[in-house]
Amino acid sequence: MTEDWEFTTTASSPDYCFDDKSTENNKTQVCLNILPRKVSKKAIEAKEQKIAQLKKEITFLRTDNERLKAENQAIKQSIDTFRENLFKERERNKMKGNSNLSLYTMSLGLIIACTLHFNSASDSSSGTSRKLLFYEKATYNLPMYALIILVFALIWQTFLKVRKPIYKLP
């Protein structure tokens, strides 16, 4: 389509004319009369100052963006190293075995066993035998309570404790 139009102008006339060459019988000509616009020097200087200020802001924002990208990369790297260390620690714990009772679990079980033992010992020392519907209440000694509680704690830590997975960032 652009091959069909011819652009012509003359020095005497500032008009821009486009002639249609596609048809030989019908000549079409489109002319545009473009006159220069007068702009004051103050307006030009104000625009130049505004452009210079915008250039300064753009360079500042670019440097700030680069700084933030570097900080973001450092934070991502520290998060990744933390996650890797956590995975390594979990793997090391799996190899060692999670069925080992912790000191906290054993001491808590011993405290509960002592409490139950003293409670049942005080019931038996009162001199009355309490009958529960069809059988008498049994009184256990301290090692029996400790053994039962530690077995339950071991079962809890081995089979029932749910560990949530940690996902790695893409």
Q: Does one domain contain both 53 and 19?
A: no
Q: Does one domain contain both 81 and 124?
A: no
Q: Does one domain contain both 86 and 60?
A: yes
Q: How many domains does the chain have?
A: 3
In the predicted model, what is the mean pLDDT of residues 20-45? 70
pLDDT recorded at residue 56: 92
Task: Please check whether residue 76 is in contact with residue 169, taking contact to mean a CB–CB distance below 8 angstroms.
Answer: yes
Place 2 in a pLDDT band, splitting at 50, 70 and 90: very low
Task: Read off φ and ψ for residue 26, nearest 5 degrees.
Answer: -105, 115
Percent of the chain with pLDDT over 70: 46
Domain stops at, among 53, 80, 96: 96
User: Worst-scoring range by mean pLDDT, 9-23, 56-70, 151-165?
Assistant: 9-23
Please report whether residue 166 resides in a domain.
no
pLDDT recorded at residue 35: 67
pLDDT recorded at residue 84: 87
- Segments forming the whole domain that contains residue 28: 2-33
Return d(Cα 67, Cα 29) in angstroms, integer. 58
Task: State the average pLDDT for the chain.
Answer: 70
Task: Please check whether residue 29 is in contact with residue 16, taking contact to mean a CB–CB distance below 8 angstroms.
Answer: no
Q: Does one domain contain both 50 and 85?
A: yes
Q: For tokens 């679990």, what's the residue? A: 105
95-146, pLDDT tens digit by residue?
Answer: 554 445 566 666 777 777 777 766 665 555 555 555 555 555 555 666 777 7
Instruction: Please check the confidence at residue 80 and state whether its pLDDT lies above 80.
Output: yes
Task: Please check whether residue 16 is in contact with residue 9, taking contact to mean a CB–CB distance below 8 angstroms.
Answer: yes
Please report whether residue 118 resides in a domain.
yes
